[in-house]
Chain A
Amino acid sequence: DAGITQSPRHKVTETGTPVTLRCHQTENHRYMYWYRQDPGHGLRLIHYSYGVKDTDKGEVSDGYSVSRSKTEDFLLTLESATSSQTSVYFCAISASNNSNSNQPQHFGDGTRLSIL
């Protein structure tokens, strides 16, 4: 299994509180991604990173921010959580690089986040 650890695995919090999810990898891969998965919408990309301090928006980035200060860690922050952000969040990593950008993504075990 790809060395990806997501924390926490489960979290329940209240509307308006800040939430940070962590993705840690031991593969030294350049690319890291955050997705959310919701019934009826499937998996959707929130943000991704192509290197330390290099990040870009995905399809559903509103209300989320990310940071990557080290190769191994990619943080997803909900500055002020809303009930619509209740979801399962998956982190993924890829060995893609400039010369080979089509490497498959491998997923972590996910974080189940409930916002009441």
Chain B
Amino acid sequence: QKEVEQNSGPLSVPEGAIASLNCTYSDRGSQSFFWYRQYSGKSPELIMFIYSNGDKEDGRFTAQLNKASQYVSLLIRDSQPSDSATYLCAVSKAAGNKLTFGGGTRVLVKP
């Protein structure tokens, strides 16, 4: 079992719709959770981070964390073609803040 798992996709979403991405992790000691966006040929770019159970909203993005069920999700509202990218979930146990990444979910937003 991989430590951090994501559906590789592609997740195809009509423009204006909500994209829902999920990530599960195996280590219950995980404390910090991050979502990165990566365009093809570019570096990962931080979108959201969440530390506590519940929802955290930032613009069109909402991160949801459920530590009991060991999953973290990312919602993208009013999806735009520019949101087409690979979204990486990353998890840290805090010590050294070392990140373990999932394989990423490719999102395609179609006009």
Contact = CB atoms under 8 A, between A and B. Distances in A.
Interface residues of B, number: 25
Contact of B101 (A43, A96, A101, A109): A43
Contacts of A105: 34, 46, 90, 97, 99
Contacts of B34: 104-105
Interface size class of A (residues with CB under 8 A): 20 to 34
A40 B2 CA distance: 12
Given A58-B98, A105-B97, A43 B43 contact: no
Contacts of A104: 34, 46, 49
A40 to B, nearest CB: 8
Contact of B97 (A42, A94, A109, A110): A94
Interface of A: 31, 33, 40-45, 48, 50, 56, 58-59, 90, 94, 96, 101-110
Interface of B: 31-32, 34, 36, 42-46, 49, 51, 88, 90, 92, 94-104
